[in-house]
A and B are shown apart, each in its own frame.
Chain A
């Protein structure tokens, strides 16, 4: 029993330490500015998202505005939510939706090129 307590203490210390170091946010949630949607802008060139696959985290219930500008026509699809965005070359296409389902969702290009462009995490 004492060993369990010891390990639990050690682990608690470790996790507190980890949380302390690793907390710094890569996600930038739209703070208190109430109804403004979280904008996710992605440029697609040559069938690839510029700067690599975009990873964004939003909170459940937030509005998300996905803005995709592509150099080729096609379709961007938000899996799970099953939203589609028609892409016209050179014209930014915008899709707004409420992130009401929790989980991770792939945003993929469909058409001539099949590629993932974003990975959206919706947390409670």
Chain B
């Protein structure tokens, strides 16, 4: 076994860059669709009215939201957290022979994205930290004690703690040199569990899940795209994207969304030849005599790149909304108004960069689950399953990548457009506010396409 240290989370097969001609066609499609959208999109608000959705038949709702299913899901998910922590802590240190890296970076982090977008906020039920907290509260209350928050969650903190946590998670994945090292993952899981349970104990479960628990905020935002949601104890079917109607005033949300988008963008940059060469030049002089210093320099460089990516995304958004405010001449800043239109873009950035990794590396989950500690076990009789490393042709990968970015662009424009005609009752200002937003979306999308086409 080799001590293979897989950079960037996990996975050894990387996508070939999108060919130049496809980049050009994708970019052209983006421009054409954008101008078509300006002229042809609906004229009276659509999304907010559709957001409540239609309740599914009663028995369906009762089954999906019932106590039995919830308890079962929580038990399985809590058991998985224990198993993954144990394998990370005590299993084979080779990332390719240990369940933990593939589970954390692929099954959980990537696999839950399509589940959330298609089926709604499954993480609310699957969250193992919440499951453990629910159990703790249940036991406390059975013991006749009351479980109440120590402090009221300060409203001005909003989603800032979650944004900070997501940034740390992204830094661990993209700046730290051995994100797939099982031991490093064990430490990260321990730290995150400690912070999460402390946050819940101090501010209460719901308050911390809303503002501090990065994954709840992440999957919660993505779930707003989903055609399924829970309202008043019922499962409702609604127009996809309608959950993104309305302004978003919770502090820290822009920071959070900027980390979502900026970290994936930096992931793309950091795989390009120019970045790899830059990192090699920076560490070159020290790599033999002072490897510790060399590693610190590269990690620092990546952190700078990550901060730069997040800063660019946020800066571009703030600039665009400032320009929009000037073109329509309104007193109030517009930054809250269009924020949720970035959520579809963040989703498609993730799809474009990671879907092939999910398909390829996801296949390793089964053999690894059969031998989670890398000790030669075969619990599920699947330890010898040989994954297909080329399940998708490069053409398929490219079409999905470009298609996702273009589709996300249209979805973002639609959400921003709907917000504009809701916020501005007159058609003139509504349209004018969208010039800058359109420019911003073109920048994000063409930038995303460009990153995919870098070799």
Contacts and interface: CB of A to CB of B under 8 A. Distances in A.
- A-B pairs with lowest CB-CB distance, top 9: A80-B12, A79-B12, A104-B14, A103-B13, A11-B28, A80-B13, A15-B21, A101-B389, A47-B287
B32 A53 contact: no
Contact of A3 (B14, B21, B24, B35): B35
A42 B28 CA distance: 41
A52 to B, nearest CB: 6
Given A3-B32, A22-B20, A82-B12, 10 more contacts: A3-B35, A11-B27, A53-B280, A80-B389, A81-B12, A102-B394, A103-B13, A104-B15, A110-B2, A113-B287
Nearest to A111: B3
Interface in B67-97: 96
Interface residues of A, number: 42
A79 B8 CA distance: 13
A119 B273 contact: yes
A121 B96 contact: no
B2 A55 contact: no
A123 B12 contact: no
* A-side interface mostly: mixed
Given A4-B32, A55-B273, A113-B291, A11 B13 contact: no
Interface in A21-52: 22, 46-48, 52
Nearest to A78: B12
Contacts of B4: 77, 79, 82, 110
Contacts, number: 105
Interface residues of B, number: 35
B5 A7 contact: no
B63 interface: no
A49 to B, nearest CB: 9
B431 interface: no
Nearest to B4: A77
B5 A14 contact: no
A51 B276 CA distance: 14
Contact of A77 (B2, B35, B280, B389): B2
Given A102-B16, A104-B16, A82 B32 contact: no
Contact of B28 (A7, A46, A55, A84): A7
A15 B3 CA distance: 44
A114 interface: yes
B6 interface: yes
